[in-house]
Chain A
Amino acid sequence: MNGFVAEALRVRRNLAWSSAVGLGYLVLYLWAIQNLILAFDGDLTRFVPVPSVQVVPDWTDRMFEPIAPFYYESVIAIYPVNHVTLLVSPLNLAMGLVLTALVALNVAVALQVARTGIACRRSFAGVLGALPGFLTGFACCVPTFALVLGAQFTLALIALRSWFFPFALAAMLLSLAWNARRGRRLAAPASLGLSRAASPVP
């Protein structure tokens, strides 16, 4: 598996696409868990100088305090421009980066499988496994996405909340392993055929 993944990452096009998708995922993830806040109807300058950075005094303890399962307190706030806030929670960010790396690897491997010409769109389906990661954010009493999806989803989201991050992680790992293994199996006969045709007849 690791050989195929490494091969996928050696292709510049794969690397570019996976980096772009990974970066997009990270931004979406941070927005979904409300660590990246875009509030165009509010005026941030009412509350803080812009640009500015705030750090909570007891950040070493605070960073481990959970707000919800797999969702932790922010210890740094960055206000780069009005309407945009970036809250930095080292644990949230670490989890986001793990998911981002897996998304990027899944995309690179799926592209490499597709390059063999034998693959189908299913190779990209594994990336969907990253979606539950978006649901880990909480705002006060209610999951962030319940506020978007509607009140009827609240209890279901709360009941499943502990599983979103582990599920996303497991789904992405399994998808990566399955795609890499499949890519290696599918690519091998093709390369064998090509090589044999090109080889001198003994």
Chain B
Amino acid sequence: MRPAAAPAVRRGTARKLGIVPSRSGIEPNEMRDELDSGAAPEPAQPERRLTRRTLLAAGFAGVGAIAGASYLASRLTGDGKEALRPAPAGSGGDTLAELARNVTSGGPPKDGIPSIDEPKFVAAGSARFLADDDVVFGLELGGEARAYPQLVLVWHEIVNDKVGDRPISVTYCPLTGSTVAFRGTSARGEALTFGTSGDLVNSNLLMYDRETDSRWPQILGQAIVGPSRGRRLEEIPLQWTTWRHWRRAHPDTRVLSTDTGFLRNYGDDPYGSYNPLGGYYKRSSSDLFFPVLNDDSRFPRKDVFVGAKLAEVRLAVRKDVVRRERAVMARMGRSRVAFLHDPDLDDVRAYRAHAGGRALLLAPGSERGRYVDEATGSVLDARGGIVSGPLRGSELERVTSYDVMWFAWAAFFRDSEVLG
């Protein structure tokens, strides 16, 4: 069902697009020795034949034993396939069932890509392993700023962290270029922590939770298989930015250390590079390693969009459009939503453009990083705080949004509205 969203784009190009979706047994040396010495050949040595056969048999037994041991090892460590039988239908609709049917193996077993469960952080000044233009995923929560370097997360994909006493899982899928933090509980109220299942759906990270062993595609944020099927996670936006930008904006930030407890080649991204942009991540690269349910060709597959979720409405805005226009207004269901470019981070944040009981219509202000409501003249900063004018002191409600490659968003959300 298509949402009734009608994007009202204030500036620049904006389109509303529906997504459709032997001989004797005598050894030659022995024979040569016998002939040289003039002695007649002795009868064959049955013990030697036995030895050869034994060796051959031992070789094959070795192959079998190693293969068997490996199989047993993988079963003992658990690859989680049993849990991938779809739960009975009825609790989540056809989409969840369709996704569950299209889970593909990414290659590694469950937890083959190890999550970081005891993250260590260093101060900004000690994070010498980061170059200025390296990508970091920034978390601003509970008065704290934390940076999760992409060069670490590409090898782990999930960090099970805590802010205050509350668990939070920071996730990153390199294949879909999406990063989002989650909080969630099981039906029994247990806080969820996550690991990698080793599987993918729509080329996207398929997480499993360690409390109920349900499967959660990262982009969907909802369980598709297992006891938690149909449950949704609370999504907490992360900022996709560079170390230079984040460090300037948050000098007191803490940074996820490369001391993860695992040995990985953290300076090397197996898929490509964001600094400079190359390999799998290039906009011009159309390579997908895994199948997707909906391959939408309206935009290059690797184009970066900002995907927003508000209730049941999904909207994707091309990130370059927001960069260019600085402020893009849209409608998601009954809400007016503003996508604002934050020049300090060179990133985009989405807000419900409502304050003081009225809907706002925001346009870029004359000052850098300032936006003006055309009706009241109130001025906002890029973090959604109204800093002057009649609505001063109000703060806009953040809408969950994150960077994602076009092909992945389109594969999950065929009914999404699109501004490109």
Instruction: List A residues at the B interface (Cβ < 8 Å).
Output: 1-4, 7, 34, 37, 39, 42-44, 46-47, 54, 56-58, 64-70, 73-77, 85, 87, 95, 138-144, 146-147, 150-151, 154-155, 157-158, 161-162, 165-166, 169-170, 173, 177, 181, 184-185, 187-188, 191-192, 195-196, 198-199
Give every chain A residue within 8 A of B106 (Cβ-Cβ).
141-142, 158
User: Of B29, B107, B174, B262, which is within 8 A of A161 by CB?
Assistant: B107
Chain B residues with a Cβ closer than 8 Å to the other chain, count: 63
Partner of B28, one of A70, A177, A191: A191
Query: Would you call B108 an interface residue if the criterion is a C-beta within 8 Å of the partner chain's C-beta atoms?
Result: yes
Partner of A158 from B107, B111, B174 at Cβ < 8 Å: B107
B131 at the A interface (CB under 8 A): yes
A148 and B106 alpha carbons, distance in the complex (Å): 17
On chain A, the residues within 8 Å of B175 by CB distance are 141-142
Check B267–A139 contact: CB distance below 8 A.
no
Q: Is the CB of B52 within 8 A of A147?
A: no
B266 at the interface (CB under 8 A from A): yes
In the complex, are the beta carbons of B267 and A42 less than 8 A apart?
A: yes
* Contact assessment for B287 and A169 in the assembled complex, using a CB-CB cutoff below 8 Å: no
Q: Is the CB of B288 within 8 A of A138?
A: no
Report chain B residues within 8 Å CB of A70.
Answer: 70
Identify 20 new A-B residue pairs, CB closer than 8 A, beyond the known A142-B289, A192-B35.
A3-B30, A3-B48, A42-B268, A43-B267, A56-B261, A66-B108, A69-B70, A73-B114, A140-B154, A141-B113, A144-B270, A151-B289, A155-B291, A158-B106, A166-B63, A177-B59, A187-B28, A188-B31, A195-B32, A198-B36
Q: List 19 A-B contacts (CB under 8 A).
A: A2-B51, A3-B30, A42-B267, A47-B129, A56-B262, A67-B108, A69-B109, A70-B70, A140-B154, A140-B271, A141-B107, A141-B200, A144-B270, A147-B270, A162-B70, A165-B70, A170-B60, A191-B31, A198-B36
Q: Given B154, B157, B263, which contacts A75 in the complex, CB threshold below 8 Å?
A: B263
Task: Chain B residues near A76: list those with CB within 8 A.
Answer: 263
Q: How far apart are B73's CB and chain A's nearest CB, in angstroms?
A: 6
- B205 to chain A: closest CB distance in Å? 8
A200–chain B nearest beta-carbon distance, Å: 8
Asked if residues A158 and B55 are in contact (CB atoms below 8 Å), the reply is: no
With a CB–CB cut-off of 8 A, which chain A residues contact B129? 46-47
Does B148 touch A at the CB level, under 8 Å? no
B60 contacts A173, C-beta separation under 8 Å: yes
The distance in angstroms between the C-alpha atoms of A54 and B36, with both chains bound, is 60
Q: How many whole Å from A45's CB to the nearest CB in chain B?
A: 9
Q: CB distance A142 to B271 under 8 Å?
A: yes
Report yes or no: B32 in contact with A191, Cβ–Cβ below 8 A. Answer: yes
**Least Cβ–Cβ distance between A102 and chain B, in angstroms:** 9
Q: Tell me the bound Cα distance from A2 to B53 in angstroms.
A: 10
Query: Are B287 and A65 interface neighbours, CB within 8 A?
Result: no
On whether A64 and B73 interact (CB within 8 A), knowing A34-B265, A195-B36, the answer reads yes
CA distance A142 to B290 in the complex (A): 9
Query: What residues of B have a CB within 8 angstroms of the CB of A192 in the complex?
Result: 31-32, 35
Nearest-CB residue, chain A, relative to B270: A139
B263 to A166, Cβ gap below 8 A? no
Min Cβ gap A173→B in Å is: 4
A170 to B157, CA, bound (A): 36
**Closest residue of chain B to A54, judged by CB?**
B263
Residue of B nearest to A7 (CB): B29
Name B290's contact: one of A3, A66, A154 (CB within 8 Å).
A154
**In the docked arrangement, what's the CA distance between A141 and B287, Å?**
14
List the 10 closest A-B pairs by CB distance, nearest first.
A139-B270, A141-B106, A42-B267, A195-B35, A151-B287, A173-B59, A154-B289, A3-B27, A188-B28, A77-B263
For the complex formed, measure the closest distance between the CB of A195 and the CB atoms of chain B, giving whole angstroms: 4
Inter-chain CA distance A132–B114, complex, in Å, is: 26
The answer on a CB contact under 8 Å between A170 and B63 is yes
Q: Is B17's CB within 8 Å of the partner chain A?
A: no
